[in-house]
Amino acid sequence: MTNDQNSKYQSYLKRAWVIYALMTVVLILVLVLLVAQDNEERFFFTIMPAAAAYVFRPTERYLDKLIFKFTGVSKPKEN
């Protein structure tokens, strides 16, 4: 049971990080394609959202709460 719960949790954790990365990429694309007016702004809007997404990435504890809230799978206890 613990092994199954651990694999489910790891799967949901990977999905959460993929969703976070895709949201960052979509934000970059919107800023670059719709907001930026010149090359300097395109460069800025390409680099800065990625840097901000890295700096303000969610903590493991926050992701654990969200995964439990939406899927009902909690993080397995460590030995």
| pLDDT above 60: residue 1 | no
| 76 or 57, which is more confident | 57
2 — pLDDT class (breaks 50, 70, 90): low
In this predicted structure, what is the pLDDT of residue 58? 94
The answer to whether 67 and 12 are in contact (CB under 8 A) is: yes
Buried b (16+ CB within 10 A) or exposed e, 34-57: eebeeeeeeeebeeebeeebeeee
Going from N- to C-terminal start, the domains of the chain cover 2-71
pLDDT averaged over the chain?
92
pTM of structure: 0.85
41 — pLDDT class (breaks 50, 70, 90): very high
